[in-house]
Amino acid sequence: MKGNRAVIIAVLFLAAQMAHVMPSPTTAPAFLWSPHKFGSSPSDVKEFVDYRTLSPADLVKSVLSEGGWSDLVCSGKNLQPNVDVALVYVGRKLQSSDLSKAEHTDPILLSLLKNSFSSSNTSVAFPYVAVSDGKNALENSLISGFVENCGSRLGVDHIAYMESCSIEGENLKKLRGVQSLEDFVGSRMETRIGEKTDLIVVCDEGSQDLDQGQSEGKTLSSLVNFLEKSGATYTVLYASDPSRSVQYPHLVMRFLAEDNVSTNVTLCDGVCQLKSSLLEGLFVAITLLIILISGLCCMMGIDTPTRFEAPPES
């Protein structure tokens, strides 16, 4: 009985070690980029990858800080002009594991994200964002997070969103289709007064407010192309909130580092650190398990007599 209990404890310890070093599989990626320079020094970041596993609230803080959006959505002392449109696109299919697959269900989307990340003046990637629990939509968490972090310093001119988005709040403008979005941006470019940014939220759910039959990549590409043709300066935040959970442990975004790290330089990036932590925990757990099993075998091999002879009388 004691031997079985010790084996169970060893197995639980091994599982705890593996859970400690393995990241949570229920994550989806997010990308932020802009071909235009805006704000202060945080917006000068280029091709930065945050390998931490972030909650939606942490994503908001990182977008405001590392992405430089605090100069766009929060009013403050900004010596440089802001962009005209801050576009938040919430997808529903892309998962963290999809970034490392050889074949992609939406290659246009992956190509757009990769090219935008590598060619923009400002580019930040968040490979591991925890998937929402379904009670609060990701788009609502993002907008409410921006409002809460800015507080009374909320500096956007208008917040507009598509009908497919689940957003709660006051003073929000609902857009009833792609044409409505284009009309809104066109009118804002003609009557723009001041330097405040318009925040537009688009959600892909296959509903009627987006073109049915188009993939997320085609829809997002068409929106970016429209912003380019309209002459508006813009920045884009793409975040995915898949409806189904990830079935396999997600992998680090290899394609972000392969094109940008020189082969002559040996660095231990996020991939290296993840593998080293995994191997270290595995080796320690296996070593302790071997020691425990060896000790149990030695104890079970000890044959203690059940009775002893009485000493002879002198």
| Dihedral angle, C-alpha 236, 241, 243, 246, nearest 10 ° | 120
Total residues found in the chain within this entry: 314
Q: Which stretch of 23-37, 237-251, 254-268, 283-297 has the lowest confidence by average pLDDT?
A: 254-268
Q: How far is the CA of 299 from the CAs of 4, 9, 23, 64, in angstroms?
A: 13, 17, 38, 60
Please tell me the distance from the alpha carbon of residue 37 to that of residue 183, in angstroms, as a whole number.
25
Q: Is the confidence at residue 44, as pLDDT, over 50?
A: yes
CA 206 centroid distance within chain? 22
pLDDT at site 90: 94
Q: Which of 109, 90, 111, 67 is nearest to 255 (CA)?
A: 111
Residue 200 clears pLDDT 90, i.e. is over it: yes
| Confidence at 221, pLDDT banded by 50, 70, 90 | very high
- pLDDT, position 170: 82
User: Who wins on pLDDT, 23 or 183?
Assistant: 183
Q: What is the pLDDT of residue 203?
A: 92
User: What is the share, in percent, of the chain residues with pLDDT greater than 90?
Assistant: 34
Q: Which of 41-45, 59-63, 162-166 has the highest mean pLDDT?
A: 59-63
Cβ atoms of 49 and 127 closer than 8 Å: yes
* Tens-digit pLDDT profile for residues 240-272: 988 544 443 434 444 454 444 443 444 565 667
Examine the pLDDT at 49 and tell me if it is beyond 80.
yes
Tokens of 31: 């990308």
Q: How far apart are CA 108 and CA 97, in angstroms?
A: 17
